[in-house]
Structure 1
Amino acid sequence: MKKIGLLAAASFAALSVGAAVAADLPSRKAAPAYMPPPPPPPLWTGFYAGLNLGGGWTANKVNAASLTPYSDVAGNLYFLPGNTQGGSNAGGVVGGGQIGYNFQIGPSFVVGVETDIQGTSMRSGGNSNTILYPDPVLPGSFLIPLSPAGNPGIALNWFGTVRGRAGFLFTPTLLLYGTAGFAYGGVSGGYSNFSSTRTGWTAGGGVEWMFLPNWSAKGEYLFTDLSSGGNTGAWGFSAGYHHHPQFNTVRAGVNYHFNWGAAAAPAVASY
């Protein structure tokens, strides 16, 4: 009996030591599968608004009056070109504001739409040269112009655009884009100081940098071509601006991004 008791005690002690050693061994349970973090939400999607300031210069010269009435000494009327030269190119300050909406496609592309309104100080220089024509009735004399000839200068007082934008993200915060769309503007001047609104098109491009989560800075170039027009002078002949107002603008601006319309950031799972 004594031997059986000793054997039982030894067996119990061995089992206890084995259990203790097993408890100290590392667990062989499989580690949880790695779950990569979700991608960051798009930085560019949403509405924005901002201000800009820059400069502009005309890309062409304004035309002279199309036809000018002349009279000879007998009172006969002749409608002849009054000037063969246009006015000079000119530049000025451009400034205004813009609003728009961006939509980011994947990590590399951004599309959107933007509208802006600008005030300008651009005005073309004038040219008052008058062509002299010999009088067919009285040799040695010249026809008498009956209305001003030449070009008194045309002002672009303001313009606006509605454009599409599409660009490529070189980095998550640096966007290079092209833009094109509809343009309109207020033109005034001429002999009777006429004022009219012209429509046309515009195209250009720029670069925009998101330097803070809701703020971006941009630089942009646009070429704009507005429709021709003019005011009616004496005898119903147009004596105004006949060339398309074409001008270049370069401007810098800043935008605040509201993130309205942007998708909410995905939740990060906790383990």
Structure 2
Amino acid sequence: MATLLVTSISLAASMPTAASDLVSPATAGFVWTGGYVGLQVGHAWGDSYYGDQYGSFINFDPKGLIGGAYAGYNQQFGNLVIGAEADMNFSGIDRDRAAQVYDDGSSNDYHYGTGDVKWNGAIRARLGYAADRFLPYIAAGVAFAKYDVAFMHDEGDGAYAHWEGSASMTGWTLGGGIEYAATDNLMVRAEYRYSDYGNEKWNDPDWDSDLDVDLKTHDLRLGVAYKF
């Protein structure tokens, strides 16, 4: 009981100091070196093309909200800041329906498609220029996404042909943004990111068709992080 009491008193005494770390202004000549963890939210819109060997295609073009967490480390050399960062996000990027369009521009409303990005993430290198508490930066790296697609054709008389696939896609990402040290420990950011997740090829055994699906997204994100 005595140990528990002493521990509780020590913890209570440390709380004002911990709270002051979050609200105290950043010191002049803020140093960006250190690790950090944060949360982010944003909006993404994409280009996603489904095509087959017969010249028909669907533009899924999914869009929606994303949200997740990120963590990284910065090292400052004069005004130059280099770092590495990883993030993982749950995704609401999807599109429920799109008409099939042919090479001659005609469409067929009896064809339906869905594209649904379940999650995405990236591992990136960052390069920035520190202007005291402001850090404009660029970043590039490897991007990952779990993408589910489906395709359905109304053959009439209540009969449907259906195909669906799921893939963990890997590609690249490039973007930039600006970060601001609101306090010695609290950093906020806004950034734009372009990601190309490559394409996947499947074979539909029912129609004996080779299917090709790709995915690209544009993201606008806001984040807040705690610096150690």
Mean Cα deviation higher: 231-240 or 160-169: 231-240
Q: Which residue of 1 aligns with 2:205?
A: 234
2: CA distance, partners of 1:129 / 1:167: 44
Whole-Å separation in 2 of the counterparts to 1:42 and 1:50: 19
Distance 1:252 1:210, change over 3 A: same
Query: Structure 1: how far apart are the matches of 2:208 and 2:200?
Result: 13
Alignment pair present for 1:156 and 2:117: yes
Q: Counterparts of 1:238 and 1:46 in 2: how far apart (Å)?
A: 52
- Structure 1 contact 42–104 (Cα < 8 Å) conserved: no
What does residue 15 of structure 2 align with?
Answer: none
User: What residue in structure 1 maps to residue 127 of structure 2?
Assistant: 166
- In the alignment, does 2:218 pair up with 1:257? no
In structure 2, the residue matched to 1:261 is none
| Residues in 2 aligned to 1:102 and 1:238: alpha-carbon distance in whole angstroms | 48
The aligned residue for residue 219 of structure 1 is 190
| Residues 1:247 and 2:217 aligned together | yes
Task: Give 1:203 deviation, angstroms.
Answer: 0.4
- Give the structure 1 partner of residue 145 of structure 2: 185
1:94 to 2:54 alignment: no
Q: 1:196 to 1:160 in 2, by over 3 A?
A: same
Partner of 2:50: 63
> Which structure has the bigger radius of gyration?
1
Identical aligned residues as a percent? 27
The residue identity in structure 2 corresponding to 1:160 is G
Shift of residue 153, structure 1, vs aligned partner: 2.0
Change (3 A) 1:100 1:210: same
Any gaps of 5 or more consecutive residues in structure 1?
1-39, 68-79, 132-148, 259-271
2:34 pairs with 1:46: yes
Matches of 2:198 and 2:111 in 1, distance apart? Answer: 21
Residue 237 of structure 1 deviates from its aligned partner by 3.7
Amino acid across the alignment from 2:178: V
* AA of the residue aligned to 2:145: G
Structure 2: give runs of 5+ residues left out of the alignment. 1-27, 103-109, 152-162
Matches within 5 A, 1:7-156: 43-58=31-46, 60-64=47-51, 66-67=52-53, 80-81=54-55, 83=56, 85-106=57-78, 108-129=79-100, 150=111, 152-156=113-117
Q: Which residue does the alignment assign to 1:18?
A: none
Q: Kindly indicate whether residue 110 of structure 2 is the aligned counterpart of residue 175 of structure 1.
A: no
Task: Kindly state the Cα deviation for residue 61 of structure 1 after the two structures are TM-superposed.
Answer: 4.0
Report the CA distance between 1:182 and its aligned residue. 0.5
Q: Give RMSD over aligned pairs.
A: 2.3
Distance 1:236 1:209 in 2: 54
Residues 1:125 and 1:173: Cα distance change in structure 2 (over 3 Å): same
The CA distance in 2 between the partners of 1:51 and 1:257, in whole Å, is 12
Instruction: Compute the TM-score of the two structures, normalised by the length of structure 1.
Output: 0.62
Q: When you count strand as a share of all residues, which structure comes out higher?
A: 2
Post-superposition offset of 1:231: 3.2
Q: Deviations over 1:46-91 (max 9, x none)?
A: 1100000011001x24223x13xxxxxxxxxxxx44x2x4224231
Shift of 1:129: 3.8
